[in-house]
Amino acid sequence: MAELFVVLMPGRFLVERPGSQSTQFQEYLREKIIEKCRKLNIRLIDPALHLKTLHSETGKNSFILTKAI
């Protein structure tokens, strides 16, 4: 049986510039998608908090994908 996962990949500003307009929009959209997934019992992977913490502690941009899956 197939299973659906939603993966929320944050944009660069969400990680690097927390107060920007781009970040505000991403956070709003992220919250709405999370809410919808919960209502529909869709599994969700959301690395944004981990990536923001990692960036603030190390200054590194560890979220850049180099190869599409």
Q: Which two tokens stand for residue 60?
A: 């590194």
Say which amino acid occupies 65: L
- Give per-residue pLDDT as tens, 40-61: 999 999 888 788 788 778 877 6
**Where are the chain's structural domains?**
5-58
Considering the chain, what is the average pLDDT of its residues?
Answer: 83
- Contact of 43 with 36, CB cutoff 8 Å: no
- Using pLDDT thresholds of 50, 70 and 90, give the confidence band for residue 69: very low
Q: Is pLDDT of 63 > 90? A: no
Q: Which two tokens stand for residue 64?
A: 């850049």
- Contact of 59 with 21, CB cutoff 8 Å: no
- Give per-residue pLDDT as tens, 6-51: 999 888 888 788 889 988 999 999 999 999 999 999 999 988 878 8
